[in-house]
Amino acid sequence: MDLKSLLGIAMPVLGIAATAAALAERIFAAWPRRRELGVRQLEVAKAVGVGGGSIRPLPPRRTVTRSVPVRAPAASPGQKILLGFVVLFAVLGVTTIALYWPEISANRDTMLFAVWLFVTMIFGMFVQVVVANYQAGKAMFDVTVPDLVLPLFFSLVVYYSIWSVASSAPHSLFSFYAAFLNGYFWRNVLASAKLPTAQKDG
């Protein structure tokens, strides 16, 4: 396996790992914890005077504090399967990088260039989410986890189109420009993606 093919596999692992972290956060966000519920009762007596009636609160009574455990909702079978697959994919990716680490170390410049392209692509995806909020009249940075995670599911398809061009061209700022645009217009890139066709001999 050459370095180009290896990087084409390794870079999307970062996106998959981020997806796994976000999915785990959604599943275990409501982990059982204890909270205190204060129950306080205040009795109000009406004292009638010469000038009319007035409401005078009596001194508060003894405060009762009760600890109530809050249980997290159980993860659905589909969430468990999806999380398990993402973890397996991440483990295989890390193992592949560890096995081919000598080749990666020998090409640190290319590796760093590939990582920066991937980060620039993700930045373009996140900017698209912020701009979509602005265009919809919402707060720009009022984003949710699903809004940020959804583009990461397709990071493999979007990044492949970037790396297939950048790996065979001189390293320049144009590669980062293309990476940002591909990330920003990731829906268009996904819609225009086609299955590779086998070339016929002769």
Domain boundaries, the chain: 3-28+72-192
pLDDT at 170: 84
Position 166, amino acid: A
CA–CA dist 87, 159 (Å, integer):
20
pLDDT at 197: 60
Contact 146, 129 (CB under 8 A): no
Q: Going residue by residue through the chain, which has 202 residues, state the pLDDT in tens, using 9 for 90 and above.
A: 554 554 554 555 555 555 555 555 555 554 444 444 343 443 444 444 444 445 555 556 666 666 666 666 677 888 888 888 889 988 998 999 899 888 888 888 888 999 999 999 999 999 999 999 999 999 989 889 889 999 998 988 899 888 888 888 888 899 999 999 999 999 998 888 776 665 554 4
Give the C-alpha distances (Å, rounded to integers) separating 89 from 33, 55, 95, 116, 201. Answer: 31, 67, 10, 22, 36
Q: How many CA atoms lie within 13 A of 103 on its CB side?
A: 13
Task: Show the tokens assigned to 123.
Answer: 């930045």
Pairing of strands 52-57, 44-49: antiparallel
Give the C-alpha distances (Å, rounded to integers) separating 129 from 17, 54, 153, 159. Answer: 20, 56, 15, 18
pLDDT at 180: 95
- Hey, is 2 helix, strand or coil? coil
Name the nearest CA neighbour of 174 among 112, 120, 94, 129: 120
CA–CA dist 182, 120 (Å, integer):
9
Contact 148, 22 (CB under 8 A): yes
Pairing of strands 44-49, 33-39: unpaired
pLDDT at 118: 94
- Could you give the angle at which helices 3-28 and 145-152 cross, rounded to 10 degrees? 160
Helix and strand numbers, DSSP H then E, in the chain: 8, 4
pLDDT at 83: 85
Name the nearest CA neighbour of 29 among 199, 145, 134: 145
